[in-house]
Amino acid sequence: MGRITIAVYRPIAGKEAELLELIDSHMPILKQEGLITDRKPYVMKAADGTIVEIFEWKSPAAIEAAHKNPQVAKLWERFGAVCEYLPPVKVTEFNNLFSEFEPIN
């Protein structure tokens, strides 16, 4: 059974374009490593520029495997250079009954 993840990235000042390029390469790498399903991810932007990505892991075991995967570790290191990870509750839009975002993909 798959597991949906909501990932939240606040770009470091001046790094938004790099973050968006990295997000474009994120799913192909996870797919190549056999960690995610074929479900198309959603990528969207909050009013303050924070990026929200929603995607599906193949299973809880795939999530666990990602934390031990060298390719994924390199990917997450690159994310760390261009953004700050945030919990979804830090995104203002998630405080609304119906959260609205600007679509990116």
pTM of the full predicted structure? Answer: 0.92
Edge-to-edge order in the sheet of strand 3-11: 83-86, 3-11, 51-57, 42-45, 102-103
Residue 1 binned pLDDT confidence (cut-offs 50, 70, 90):
confident
By percentage, how much of the chain surpasses pLDDT 70? 100
| pLDDT per position as a tens digit, 36-67 | 999 999 999 999 999 999 999 999 999 999 99
What is the rounded average pLDDT of the residues 3-23? Answer: 96
Domain boundaries along the sequence of the chain: 3-89
The hierarchical CATH code for the domain 3-89 is 3.30.70.100
